[in-house]
Amino acid sequence: MHQPLRLTLSKSAIQSNWRWLADHAGTACGAAIKANGYGTGARDAMLALQEAGCRDYYVSTWWEAEELGRMPVDSALSVLHGVGADDMVAALASTARPVLNSLEQVERWRTAAPDRACDVMVDTGMNRLGLRIEEIGALAGLRIDTLMSHLACADEDHPLNAAQLSRFRQVRAAVPAKRYSLANSAGICLGADYAFDLVRPGLALYGGIPRDEAAGNICQVAKVDAQIIQRRTIRAGETCGYGATFTAAADTPAAIINIGYADGYLRGFSSRGRAFAEKAELKVLGRVSMDLVALDASEADVGEGDWVELDYDLPRAAEASGLSQYELLTGLGARFERRWI
C-alpha cells in the first residue's frame, strides 16, 4: 500500500553517531532505544547499532522489551522503569535486566530472582527514579551488573553536574557492581570524567545535538518527506487554513502536503516551518492542520504527486517550532513509511 509520508532513516548516520559517541567517551557505549528508538523504529535502530559494535540497550518498559523481539545473542537489554508488581510475570519470562529504582523494587527482585543479575538506578539529584543515597545499604548481596545514575542538567553548564558526579563517585566507592554508568548524550559531551565504564546515549544517536561539543560530529539520521496532494493558487486577499491566519498579499501558489500534527508535525510549525524541493525553499503558510500543511510554492515547480522534504534538521526545527529535539523525534507518528537505508 502506498504511503504518502515517508521517514528515511540512515544506517550509516546512526552508526557514525554511535562511533563518535563511543570514541568521545573512550569507554563502552550502549544505546537508549526506548520510545520506538526515539521514533525511528526500535528494532531496526538496534540492528544498525549492533552492526556498529553496540551491545547494551535500554527501553523503558517490559512491553517495549517484548515489542523489540529476539535480541542478538551477544547483546543485553535493560528495562529502565524496573519491576512493578504488575511486571513480574513478564520480567521473569524475559532475559532483559530490570533497572531497580526503589526499595520496593529491590525487595521484589531479591525475593523473586535472587540469583539473576539486575541493574540499579541511584538518584544523585534528578529526583525522578532511583534509590536515595541513604538507601544504598539495601543493595547488599544483589548481583548488580550496571549501577547507574542519571544527569539532570547535562545539556547546560550547571553546578548540579559536578555535584551529581561527586555523589556518583561516592556511591561507586560504596556499592560493588560490574560496571558503573552515568552519562546520557549530553553527559558524554561533558568529558571523560563522566564516562565511567559505560555510557547511555539516546538523542545524539538519532541526530540530536545535546551540546555544542557534538555539533559538526553528529549527523542527521531522520529525513522527513511528504507527498503533494494538490497545487492551488491562493488569490490575492484570500486566506488559507484554519483560523485564516495567512492572507495572500498577491496570488500565491500553494502546495498542500500530506502531513499534520497527527504525524508529530505540531502546530508550532505554523507559519514557521519550511520544506525543500530540490534547492527551492517552501515556507509553511498559516496553521498546521491534523493531516495537512500548506506550503508557499512560489519558488518551486512542484505539483500533485511530487515530494518535498520537511526541514527536520533537529536544532533548527526545534528553534522554529518551540519543540525540543526529543519531542521532534519521538512525536513522529505511525503513518510514516519507515525506510532504513
Ligand X SMILES: *Cc1c(COP(=O)(O)O)cnc(C)c1O
Residue numbers at the binding site for ligand X (CB under 6 A):
32, 34, 80, 150, 184-186, 200-203
Q: Nearest distance from residue 81's CB to ligand X, in Å?
A: 9
Question: Residue 242 catalytic?
Answer: yes
Contacts of 328 (CB under 8 A, 6+ apart): 264, 312, 314, 317, 318, 321
Question: Residue 34 catalytic?
Answer: yes
Quote the cell numbers at residue 317: 526545527
Q: Nearest distance from residue 135's CB to ligand X, in Å?
A: 18
CB nearer ligand X, residue 17 or residue 270: 17
The Cα 155–Cα 195 span in angstroms is 15
Q: Nearest distance from residue 35's CB to ligand X, in Å?
A: 8
CB nearer ligand X, residue 13 or residue 32: 32
CB nearer ligand X, residue 121 or residue 308: 121
CB nearer ligand X, residue 80 or residue 91: 80
Do you know the residue count of the chain?
341
- Bridge partners (DSSP) of residue 119 are 99
Binding-site residue set for substrate = 128, 290
Contact 20, 312 (CB under 8 A): no
The Cα 132–Cα 128 span in angstroms is 10
Which residue among the candidates 206, 242, 261, 279 is catalytic per the annotation?
242
CB nearer ligand X, residue 60 or residue 170: 60
Q: Which amino acid is at 68?
A: L
Contact 120, 147 (CB under 8 A): yes
The Cα 321–Cα 327 span in angstroms is 10
Which residue among the candidates 11, 34, 180, 261 is catalytic per the annotation?
34
CB nearer ligand X, residue 34 or residue 274: 34
Instruction: Indicate which residues carry an active-site annotation.
Output: 34, 242
